Amino acid sequence: MTTGLLIVQILNGLQFGILLFLVAAGLTLVFGVMDFINLAHGVQYMLGAYLAVTFVALTGSFVLGLVLALAAALVFGLALEFLVFRHLYERDHLDQVLATFGLILLLNQGVKIVWGAAPLSVPLPAFLTGNVALMDGILYPTYRFALIGSGLAVGALLWFIVEKTRTGMLLRAGASNAPMVSALGVDIRKLFMIVFAFGTMLAGFAGAMAAPILSVEPGMGDTVLILAFVVIVIGGIGSIRGAFVAALIVGLVDTLGRSFMNDLLRLFMSAPSARATGAALSSMLIYLLMAVVLFVRPEGLLPARGRT
Amino acid sequence: MSSATTTAEVTSVAPPRERAKVLLPAILFLLLALAPLAVSLGMPAGWLALLTRALIFAIAALSLDLILGVGGLVSFGHAAFLGIGAYVTGIMITEGRSEALVILPVILVTCALFGAITGAICLRTRGVAFIMITLAFGQMVYFLAQALSAYGGDDGLTLYEKSTLLGFKPFASRTSFYYSVLIALGGAYLLVRGLVASRFGRVLRAARENPTRVSVTGFDVTRVRLVAYVISGMLAGLSGFFLANHTEFVSPAFMSWQRSGELIFMVVLGGVGSLHGAIIGAIAYLIAEDALSHLTEHWRAIFGPLIILFVLFTRGGIVGMLRKLGSRHG
């Protein structure tokens, strides 16, 4: 375990955490403001990636493709809101879970029909290929730096909107007490449309940015959705700050666990059993983390309601 | 004032409902008991295998209805119990211990332990957090199964023999396997129904409506829920035992979170909280899945919208519709 490798893995963990934050932020906002469980959030991430595949290939430009993919993801998300979600706000959580589960089945199969079942990829943009030398002999891909940077920029923008603008004020108020905000004369439906558009954009953006470094395939959103759930449960449901902190923790714990668990276990067990235990333990690590956090703090690390 | 009127209404409609509660399950089990006859009358033999699979899932759906329908706790990780049951069966048969009377106690103890530990943590939260935490624990077991490289890992584990019972092989013949599952389902149904009718069940139901009031009355709501959660998990483990014997194969996919979602849908499709509804829902779900998958490989693209339409436009599931039909004609 060299320092160089450790630095590379910490960067990987940060990058993964930032992707998770982009997905979890939308999920937690939608839940916080409208008390709505959107299981289809993961397929919106997947759709962002697929749209990026198509538009980058079509335009031949990464940036243009990304922008078009985002716009298309937004339009699609709003269409879903109009067709399905709108009718579920007043229903109980069970109905929301089921209907959005039906959407997952439809969309996972839908991308298979449209794009085929084989994994696709997006070429790295020319201006972001290559590596950055961190220190002697330690290289880190430029694109991943760009991903970390743009994720942080979007996070900062989100922070600015939520903390400093009027819309953000309403969002925060809505997340703390939606009926009260509605009673004060705010059009809560319109507010939710904005929140929803926001969430869709963030998930789509995360998917599109991840497309060049992950394989784009049906079901890719499901894994991310579950991880995003873990993130918002650890962070405190409805809390953006909580989602940010928890996403970085989960990203780092997961990545570092996967790369160093074997070495750690080999200190006190044989190589084959360390490999077997390590594989099981590292995939379960974040769920264990979540269980511990909830055992100590059932409300999550930085709960949104009743902020003190 | 309003609560007094509701009580009066409930008592006035109670007798026909009570009758339906006995009549419908009785007809259901009678039909199920006669089903193998249909095969001898010319139904294709594959149909009995499909129905067996449906009854196996009916046990799981029934067990889920105890916590979801009666207790009001939306568990999104129920497939984990099913998977534990299937994996214990698969691993023990692979290791040469195929006697059901050895396997079943191990399944029940494992599921009870898993249920007690995860339930104690999950029940510290409520509502959405509960849904998500059960989901996360389900994923944990899923990844654990994937990491079991000695038992197939990601590819799953093929079983080369079925379980025996007291040295006999009741699962070898299709018909006797069917009846074994049906008996288990009948036993599970009577057990859950007895539980629901007992004082324990009344407290569980009351806690769904108003946990604060129930706990003020002096009941330990969390303990009652935990016991229901553990019993429910053990029954789902039992269905895992049959599932492993039926498919002669176990894989991590048995406990993916999509499978948990399907179990929830079975319960809702049949009618939440009515117990026999869960059985009807599981059968309807598996027959629909089978029919659609023969139609096109993209059957999920049809099934997904059907789920959405069902959620948006119906209330009370199949049992609710039957009840409406019954009250219109009777």
pLDDT tens for B130-140 read 888 898 889 88
* pLDDT confidence tier of residue B4, bands split at 50, 70 and 90: very low
pLDDT of residue B16: 53
Residues of chain A positioned with their CB less than 8 A from the CB of B312: 84, 87-88, 99
Least CA distance to A37: which residue of chain B? B128
DSSP state of A85: G
Question: B242 with B59: CB under 8 angstroms?
Answer: yes
- Looking at chain A, the whole-number percentage of residues with pLDDT higher than 70 is 98
Q: Is the pLDDT of residue B226 over 80?
A: yes
Q: What is the mean pLDDT of residues A92-113?
A: 90
Would you state the pLDDT for residue A291?
Answer: 81
SS3 (DSSP) at A95: helix
Portion of chain B with pLDDT greater than 90, in percent:
39
Rounded Cα–Cα distance for residues A308 and A257 (Å): 33
Ramachandran angles phi, psi of A236, nearest 5°: 110, 115
pLDDT at A260 over 90: no
Q: Is the pLDDT of residue A202 over 80?
A: yes
ipTM above 0.90, yes or no: no
Q: What is the pLDDT of residue B65?
A: 94
Q: Measured between CA atoms, how close is A172 to chain B, in angstroms?
A: 19
- Per-residue CA distances from B130 to A165, B157, B231, B294 (Å): 33, 31, 18, 36
Cβ contact A290–B303 (<8 Å): no
**CB nearest to B135's CB, from A87, A226, A288:** A226
Q: Distance (Å, rounded) from C-alpha B255 to C-alpha B90?
A: 14
DSSP state of B70: I
For residues B6-12, give the mean pLDDT. Answer: 41
Alpha carbons A64 and A194: distance in angstroms, whole number: 24
Which amino acid would we find at residue B181?
A: V
CB B79 within 8 A of CB B137: no
What distance in Å separates the CA atoms of residue B230 and residue B236, rounded to the nearest whole number? Answer: 10
Q: What is the pLDDT of residues B73-124, one digit of tens each?
A: 999 999 999 999 999 999 998 888 888 888 999 999 999 999 999 999 888 8
Report the half-sphere exposure of B42 (CA within 13 A, side-chain side): 0
- Taking any CB pair shorter than 8 Å as contact, residues of chain B touching chain A are 68, 74, 76, 118, 121, 124-125, 127-129, 131-133, 135-137, 139-140, 143-144, 146-150, 257-258, 261, 264-265, 268, 272, 298-301, 303-308, 311-312
Residue B251 has pLDDT above 70, yes or no: yes
pLDDT band at B8 (very low <50, low <70, confident <90, very high): very low
Query: For residue A237, which phi and psi values (nearest 5 degrees)?
Result: -65, 130
pLDDT reported for residue A100: 92
pLDDT tens track for A9-39: 899 999 999 999 999 988 888 887 778 888 8
**CA B225 to centroid of chain Cα atoms:** 17
Residue whose tokens read 């709108």: A86
Give the pLDDT confidence of A31-51 residue by residue, as tens digits: 877 788 888 999 999 999 999
Interval B27-48 mean pLDDT: 82
Which of B297, B306, B307 to mutate to probe the A interface, most A CBs <10 Å?
A: B307
Question: Mean pLDDT throughout B282-304?
Answer: 89
Query: A with B: how many residue pairs have Cβ under 8 Å apart?
Result: 130
Q: How far apart are CA A271 and CA B73, in angstroms?
A: 43
Give me the pLDDT at residue B20, please: 63
pLDDT bin (cut points 50, 70, 90) of residue B329 is low
- Interchain proximity A279–B149, CB inside 8 Å: yes
Whole-number pLDDT of residue A26: 87
DSSP B205-234: HHHHH-HHHHHHTT--HHHHHHHHHHHHHH
Average pLDDT (A227-235) is 89
Closest chain B C-alpha to A36 CA, distance in angstroms: 9
Residue A5: band (very low, low, confident or very high) from pLDDT cuts 50, 70, 90:
confident
**Contact in structure between B176 and B49 (CB atoms under 8 Å):** no
Residues A192 and A57: their CA atoms lie apart, in Å, by 33
Are B124 and A107 inside 8 Å of each other by CB? no
Is residue B2 pLDDT above 70, yes or no? no
Contacts of A291 in chain B (CB under 8 A): 118, 121, 136-137
Q: Give the one of B133, B148, B304 whose C-beta lies nearest to A233's C-beta.
A: B133
Taking Cα atoms as reference points, which of A59, A86, A17 lies closest to residue B308? A86
Q: How many Cβ atoms are within 10 Å of A109's Cβ, its own excluded?
A: 21
Cβ neighbours around B94 below 10 Å, total:
18
- How far is Cα A280 from Cα A258, in angstroms, rounded to an integer? 10
The nearest CA of chain A is from the CA of B326 a distance in Å of 25
**Residue-level pLDDT at B136:** 83
Q: pLDDT at residue B187 above 70?
A: yes
Rounded average pLDDT over B10-38: 71
Q: How confident is the model at residue B12 (pLDDT cuts 50, 70, 90)?
A: very low
- Average pLDDT value for chain A: 86
How many helices (H) does chain A have, and how many strands (E)? 10, 2
